[in-house]
C-alpha cells in the first residue's frame, strides 16, 4: 500500500467514525440537571435543560418518587423546566425527575436528600412480667436510615445507655431500612420499666423517638380476670337474695291471680248448669 493510500484509508475511517458520532449526537436527547443532587439544604430549585429533543416538546412535568406532581404540569413547549422546593424536610426529600413529553418521553433524576424521620409505632407499650416486649420505630424520608440504634434512658432522664444486640439473651434488634424492632425478653418490673429511644441515621442527619415501657406484675395481669369473677359472684348473690325475698310476694301474687280463674270457673259452672238444664228440658 502506498503512503497516500494509507492516509486516505485512515482519513476514511475517521470520517466514518465522526459521522457515526454525529448521528448519535443528533438523535440522542440530553438532559442537563442543575444541581445534580441536593444535600443538606433547606430549600432548592431543581432545573432540567433538554438539548437535542427527538421530537416536538408537548410539555413537561416533575415527579417525586415516581408520583406526578400535579402542580408542575405544563404544556409550554420549551426545553427547560424548573421546580422549586420551598422547604426540604423528610416530607419533601426523595428522587425527583423532570419528564419532557417528546416522542419518546425523556427524563432525568435529581436526588433530594434530607435527614430521616423516625416515629415510634406506639409511644407507650405494656408488657407482663417474664413476657417479651416488642418496641417498634418506623423510618421515613429519603434516604431511609442506614443505621439504627436503641438506648435505655436512665430513671432521672439525664443519661442513656446504648443497647446492643444479643446482650445476655435479653435484647434482640431487627432492622430494615424503614423499621427497627427491639425485643426485650423476660421482662423485669424494676429493671426494664422506663423510657427507650430509637435513633435512625442517614448521611444527612438523624432523628429519634421515645417509647415508654410499663411492666405489670403477673398478679396485675390477673386483675381483670379476678374482677370478672368477683362481678359474677356479686351478680349471682344479688339474684339469689332477690329470689329468696320475692318468694312470699309470689305466693300472694298467685292467690290474687288465682281468684280470676275461680270466677271464670264458676261462670263456666253456671253455663254448664244451664246447658245441663237445657239438656234436661
- CB nearer to ligand NAG: pick between 107 and 178: 178
Q: Between 36 and 55, how does the x/- string for binding to ligand NAG read (CB under 6 A)? A: -------------x-x----
Cβ proximity to ligand NAG, 183 vs 193, nearer residue: 183
Decide whether 82 or 155 has the Cβ nearer to ligand NAG.
Answer: 82
With contacts defined by CB under 6 A, how many residues of the chain interact with ligand NAG?
11
CA distance to 20, 170, 177, per residue, from 64 (Å): 36, 42, 19
Residues from 76 through 105 that contact ligand NAG (CB under 6 A):
80
Exposure class string for 141-165: b at 16+ Cβ within 10 A, else e? bbbbbeebbbbbbeeeeeebeebee
Q: Is 165 in the site for ligand NAG (CB under 6 A)?
A: yes
Nine cell digits for residue 139: 423510618
Tell the smallest beta-carbon distance from residue 9 to ligand NAG (Å).
36
C-alpha grid cell for residue 84? 422549586
Binding residues among 120-159 for ligand NAG as defined by CB under 6 A: 138
- Interacting positions 167-226 with ligand NAG (CB under 6 A): 172-175, 178
Long-range contacts of 205-209 (CB under 8 A, 24+ apart): 205/40, 205/114, 205/115, 205/116, 206/115, 206/116, 206/145, 207/90, 207/115, 207/116, 207/117, 207/118, 207/139, 208/118, 209/118, 209/119, 209/120, 209/123, 209/137
Tell me if 72 contacts ligand NAG by CB under 6 A: no
Provide, rounded to whole angstroms, the least separation between the CB of residue 150 and ligand NAG: 9
Piece of 109-117, 152-160, 165-173, 241-249 that binds ligand NAG (CB under 6 A): 165-173
Which spans of this chain sit near ligand NAG (rule: CB under 6 A)? 49, 51, 80, 138, 165-166, 172-175, 178
Amino acid at each position: 500500500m502506498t503512503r497516500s493510500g494509507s492516509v486516505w484509508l485512515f482519513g476514511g475511517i475517521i470520517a466514518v467514525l465522526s459521522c457515526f458520532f454525529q448521528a448519535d449526537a443528533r438523535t440522542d436527547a440530553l438532559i442537563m440537571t442543575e444541581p445534580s443532587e441536593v444535600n443538606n439544604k433547606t430549600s432548592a430549585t431543581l432545573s432540567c435543560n433538554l438539548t437535542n429533543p427527538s421530537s416536538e416538546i408537548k410539555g413537561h412535568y416533575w415527579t417525586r418518587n415516581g408520583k406526578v406532581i400535579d402542580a408542575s404540569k405544563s404544556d409550554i413547549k420549551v426545553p427547560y423546566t424548573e421546580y422549586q422546593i420551598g422547604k426540604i424536610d423528610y416530607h419533601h426529600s426523595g428522587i425527583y425527575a423532570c419528564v419532557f413529553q417528546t416522542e419518546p418521553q425523556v427524563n432525568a433524576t435529581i436526588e433530594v436528600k434530607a435527614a430521616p424521620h423516625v416515629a415510634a409505632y406506639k409511644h407507650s407499650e405494656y408488657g407482663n412480667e417474664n413476657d417479651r416486649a416488642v418496641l417498634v420505630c418506623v423510618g421515613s424520608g429519603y434516604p431511609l436510615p442506614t443505621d439504627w440504634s436503641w438506648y435505655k434512658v436512665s430513671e432521672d432522664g439525664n443519661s442513656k445507655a446504648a443497647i446492643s444486640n444479643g446482650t445476655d439473651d435479653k435484647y434482640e434488634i431487627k432492622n430494615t431500612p424503614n423499621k427497627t424492632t427491639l425485643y426485650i425478653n423476660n421482662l423485669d418490673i424494676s429493671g426494664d420499666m422506663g423510657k427507650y429511644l430509637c435513633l435512625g441515621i442517614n448521611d444527612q442527619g438523624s432523628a429519634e423517638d421515645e417509647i415508654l415501657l410499663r411492666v405489670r406484675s403477673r398478679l396485675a395481669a390477673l386483675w381483670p380476670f379476678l374482677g370478672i369473677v368477683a362481678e359474677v359472684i356479686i351478680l349471682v348473690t344479688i339474684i339469689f337474695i332477690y329470689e329468696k325475698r320475692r318468694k312470699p310476694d309470689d305466693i300472694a301474687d298467685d292467690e290474687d291471680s288465682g281468684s280470676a280463674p275461680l270466677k271464670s270457673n264458676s261462670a263456666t259452672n253456671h253455663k254448664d248448669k244451664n246447658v245441663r238444664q237445657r239438656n234436661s228440658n
